[in-house]
Amino acid sequence: MVECYWPDVTDEKAEAVAERARRAARELAREGKQVTYAGSILVPEDEVVFYLFEGSSADDVREASERADIPFERVTLSRERR
What superfamily does domain 2-75 belong to in CATH? ORF SCO4226, nickel-binding ferredoxin-like monomer (3.30.70.3090)
Would the CA dihedral through 66, 60, 81, 20 be positive or negative? positive
Phi, psi dihedral angles at 63 (to 5 degrees): -65, -45
Q: Give the pLDDT of residue 63.
A: 95
Give the pairing of strands 35-43 and 74-75: unpaired
pTM assigned to the model: 0.92
- The predicted-structure confidence for 15-57, as pLDDT tens digits, reads as follows 999 999 999 999 999 999 999 999 999 999 999 999 999 988 8
Going from N- to C-terminal start, the domains of the chain cover 2-75
Q: In what order do the strands lie in the sheet with 2-5?
A: 35-43, 48-55, 2-5, 74-75
| Dist. CA 31–CA 54, nearest whole Å | 16
